[in-house]
Amino acid sequence: MHELGMAMEIVEVVIKSLEGRKVNGVKEVEIELGELHKISPEQMRQVFEMAAKDTIVEGAKLKVKIKKGKIRCQSCGYSGGVKVAMKHDHDHIAHIHCPECEGVSIEILEGNDIDVRNITADVED
């Protein structure tokens, strides 16, 4: 499951960022999820819970902020935001095209990534 792998990477980032500190638990992890990514916030929360099990991150709330996508069209040169149509099939694939010329030969500039933005943890002094 590709989604579980992404969630495991988030958990690893959180654990590594807290190394060397006396942590009683993680309360919240805030991520920025690109709108062009193939996973919905709900799916990410579910797999995050699975990935965090039996770690210091278990029980933490996952807060998801959506980052807008930005593309460059290879056909007409358009650069900017994009409308995303999600095809509701097994893969939850985002179908992306240029809003100016409807072309599909595009380069994704932003919005296809996942970044950990903030970690709230119960840390001992």
pTM, whole model, 2 decimals? 0.81
Q: Each residue of 59-114: pLDDT tens digit? A: 999 999 999 999 999 999 999 998 766 544 445 455 788 999 988 899 999 998 99
The partner residues of 80 in beta bridges, in order of sequence, read 71
Q: Which positions ≥6 away from 57 have C-beta within 8 Å?
A: 11, 14, 15, 26, 29, 51
In this predicted structure, what is the pLDDT of residue 26?
A: 97
Backbone angles phi, psi at 96, to 5 degrees: -120, 135
Domain ranges, ordered by start, for the chain: 2-123
> Looking at the domain 2-123, which fold is it?
hypothetical protein PF0899 fold (3.30.2320)
Q: Of the ranges 1-15, 46-60, 78-92, which one carries the lowest mean pLDDT score?
A: 78-92
